[in-house]
Amino acid sequence: MKKITTTLVAASLMIGLAACGSGNNGGNASNAAASGSAGSTGSAGSSASATAKTDDKPVTVRVAWWGGQSRHDYTLKVIDMYEKLHPNVTIEPEYAAFDDYWKKLAPQAAANQLPDVIQMDISYLNQYAGRNQLADLTPYTESGKLDVSSVAEPTLAGGKIDGKLYAMNAGSNALTMMVDPAMLKSLGIEEPAADKGWTWDEFAALGDKAKAEGKLLFSDLRHDVFFPFYLRGQGQLMYAADGTKLGYDDDKFFIDYYTKYREWYNKGYTMSLDKLSQSKGTPEEDLVALGTALSSNQWSNQFIGISTAAKRELDLLPVPGWDSNKALFLKPSMYFTVANSSKVKDAAIDFINYFINDVEANKVILGERGVPVSSKVQEAIRPNLTPEQTKVFDYVAWAEKNSSEMNPPNPVGAVEVDALLKAEVEKILYKQVTVEKGAAEFREKANAILAKNK
């Protein structure tokens, strides 16, 4: 009996081991297959290419970005196109969702292993550029390797720090209010003129009407976006020019804005915090797409994803301003930057140049990263746009004429200040502190964080 047991155990062990072994083999085989296919696309490209201008030494360029699935898909396609034109270049894509992206990038910076091309956000630009992680792109724009001849100067300016171009604008964005015209009609609400939009007060006045029909005014207004936007409307800045403190001294602005915000929240015009904390912010969860809110106040490039999710016609309106002093501004939806530690800067620049200036590439990108910054590309791809994309291009073109220059990029520590603002507002909305106390607390703590930049 004992013998049989031993044999059984031994046999099962061996089967187990064999299974492991074959599993590994399988893994290797599939890896080999993958690299084989990558190699073959490369060689197929080489026979087709005649336009490669860089010398033919093989280079590997690591390109990193954040985004959703659709962005990953088309970016990989663009990379494929680029590799076909440049058979000596192998591009290693590294992509993730926004939050994870930054948590991965920071340790890479610490290990001196940043990707060569890094998609950059305005909140982090100073953190990376100011700490000497990013290459100055000015020499490349001067030599024409990064062609900015059809990019307007204000569009470039958003990537400059102390006169040096650290980041190439990947596309223009403007704040907008997305609405569902059919829903407004069914509620008996008249849509405002497309070049005027509502004021916040006019819009808030619709709250009770919407509530009676079980609709919200909007889910929320992102604090790190809309509070600075409100401040702009008041002629104030969120951050002082040297980044060592907040740009405003008077708590009045905070109190005014969040008294109003709290009123909307308490009246039930916006999404309750417990539900908001569980929403992932994907286009599929957007309340206009779901048909449960009157508006979604977002960056314009989000319109494509949201109207795709909604599967019906949506409209773009000017985002309500606080007054008419052109608080609206164009913002780079994101940037492309090159790591200072990169050993293949030329190749990295060439890829960015392709992304920004190549018409064929932009026929695939189609403004998903914001309206193309090159006027030539904009013109060339217009016929290829869907009606939704055309709306975004038109809106950004309108916004460009009705806006003022954007604020300088956020200082180091802004990520922490943004988190603090969100936490402080939650305390106010949960009635743990008064608006006045929250305003003072926020100002003191934020100034303490920013004081480290002195």
Partner 1 sequence: MTKFRENNHLVGYLFTAPFIIGFLIFTMFPMLASLYYSFTDYNLFEAPNWVGFDNYKTMFSGDDQYWKSVRVTFTYVLASVPLRLAFALAVAMLLNKAIGGIGLYRSAYYLPSLIGGSVAVSIMWTQVFGDKGLLNSFLGLLGIHTTTSWIGSPGTAIWTLIALSVWQFGSSMLIFLAGLKSIPASLHEAANVDGAGAGRRFFKITLPMLSPIILFNLIMQTISAFMTFTPAYVISRGEGGPLDSTLLYSLYLYKRAFQFTQMGYASAMAWVMLLTVGVIALILFQTSKYWVHYESKGES
Report d(CA 319, CA 271) in Å as an integer: 19
| Closer residue to partner 1, CB minimum distance, 106 or 237 | 106
Asked whether position 275 contacts partner 1 by CB under 8 A, the answer is yes
C-alpha count within 13 angstroms, C-beta hemisphere, residue 322 = 17
Query: How far are the Cα atoms of 90, 105, 208, 236, 331 from residue 338, in angstroms, in the given order?
Result: 17, 13, 50, 32, 20
Nearest approach, Cβ of residue 448 and partner 1 (Å):
8
Angle of CA points 214, 219, 225, to nearest 5°: 155
Determine which residue in the list 2, 3, 103, 311 makes contact with partner 1, applying CB under 8 A: 103
CA 95 to chain centre: 13
Asked whether position 166 contacts partner 1 by CB under 8 A, the answer is no
- Cβ neighbours of 367 (radius 10 Å): 27
- Cβ neighbours of 73 (radius 10 Å): 11
Q: In sequence order, which residues have a C-beta less than 8 Å from that of residue 172 and are 6 or more positions away?
A: 155, 330, 331, 332, 333, 370, 371, 373, 396, 400
Q: Are strands 117-120 and 330-338 parallel, antiparallel or unpaired?
A: antiparallel
Report d(CA 293, CA 436) in Å as an integer: 29
User: Which one of 212-220, 347-355, 383-391, 418-426 is the stretch in contact with partner 1 (CB under 8 A)?
Assistant: 418-426
Report d(CA 262, CA 269) in Å as an integer: 10
| Closer residue to partner 1, CB minimum distance, 133 or 270 | 133
What's the first-to-final CA gap in the chain, in angstroms? 79
Determine which residue in the list 2, 53, 57, 280 makes contact with partner 1, applying CB under 8 A: 280
3's enclosing H/E stretch is helix 2-48
The closest of 79, 77, 76, 123 to 99, measured between CA atoms, is 123
Span 423-452, contacts to partner 1 by CB under 8 A? 423, 426-427, 430, 432, 448
Determine which residue in the list 2, 188, 274, 401 makes contact with partner 1, applying CB under 8 A: 274
Span 126-145, contacts to partner 1 by CB under 8 A? 127-128, 131-133
- Indicate the residue type of 126: N
Span 313-352, contacts to partner 1 by CB under 8 A? none
Nearest approach, Cβ of residue 426 and partner 1 (Å):
6
Asked whether position 107 contacts partner 1 by CB under 8 A, the answer is yes
Q: Are strands 168-179 and 89-96 parallel, antiparallel or unpaired?
A: unpaired
Size of site (CB under 8 A) for partner 1: 29
User: Which one of 81-89, 189-197, 269-277, 359-367 is the stretch in contact with partner 1 (CB under 8 A)?
Assistant: 269-277
User: Which one of 22-30, 69-77, 272-280, 390-398 is the stretch in contact with partner 1 (CB under 8 A)?
Assistant: 272-280
User: Which one of 147-155, 274-282, 343-351, 401-409 is the stretch in contact with partner 1 (CB under 8 A)?
Assistant: 274-282
Nearest approach, Cβ of residue 164 and partner 1 (Å):
18
Nearest approach, Cβ of residue 116 and partner 1 (Å):
18
Asked whether position 109 contacts partner 1 by CB under 8 A, the answer is yes
CA 58 to chain centre: 32
| Closer residue to partner 1, CB minimum distance, 47 or 278 | 278
Determine which residue in the list 72, 416, 436, 440 makes contact with partner 1, applying CB under 8 A: 416
Nearest approach, Cβ of residue 111 and partner 1 (Å):
9
Q: Phi and psi for 293 in degrees, rounded to 5? A: -140, 155
Report d(CA 35, CA 381) in Å as an integer: 34
Do residues 453 and 417 touch, judged by C-beta distance below 8 A?
no
| Closer residue to partner 1, CB minimum distance, 189 or 433 | 433
Asked whether position 214 contacts partner 1 by CB under 8 A, the answer is no
Query: How far are the Cα atoms of 37, 42, 68, 83 from residue 73, in angstroms, in the given order?
Result: 18, 19, 9, 16
Nearest approach, Cβ of residue 129 and partner 1 (Å):
11
| Closer residue to partner 1, CB minimum distance, 88 or 219 | 219
Asked whether position 276 contacts partner 1 by CB under 8 A, the answer is yes
Nearest approach, Cβ of residue 278 and partner 1 (Å):
5
- CA dihedral 196→199→200→205, nearest 10 degrees, is -110
Nearest approach, Cβ of residue 416 and partner 1 (Å):
5
The closest of 121, 155, 143 to 409, measured between CA atoms, is 121
| Closer residue to partner 1, CB minimum distance, 280 or 401 | 280
User: Which one of 137-145, 211-219, 228-236, 412-420 is the stretch in contact with partner 1 (CB under 8 A)?
Assistant: 412-420
| Closer residue to partner 1, CB minimum distance, 169 or 410 | 410
Span 186-205, contacts to partner 1 by CB under 8 A? none
Structure tokens that stand for 289 in this block: 């797409």
- Indicate the residue type of 92: E
Span 379-408, contacts to partner 1 by CB under 8 A? none
Please return the burial class of 215, using the count of CB atoms within 10 Å of its CB with bins 0-12, 13-18 and 19+: buried
- Cβ neighbours of 259 (radius 10 Å): 14
- Cβ neighbours of 154 (radius 10 Å): 16
Asked whether position 174 contacts partner 1 by CB under 8 A, the answer is no
Asked whether position 51 contacts partner 1 by CB under 8 A, the answer is no
**What are the residues binding partner 1 (CB under 8 A)?**
99, 102-103, 106-107, 109-110, 127-128, 131-133, 272-278, 280, 415-416, 419, 423, 426-427, 430, 432, 448
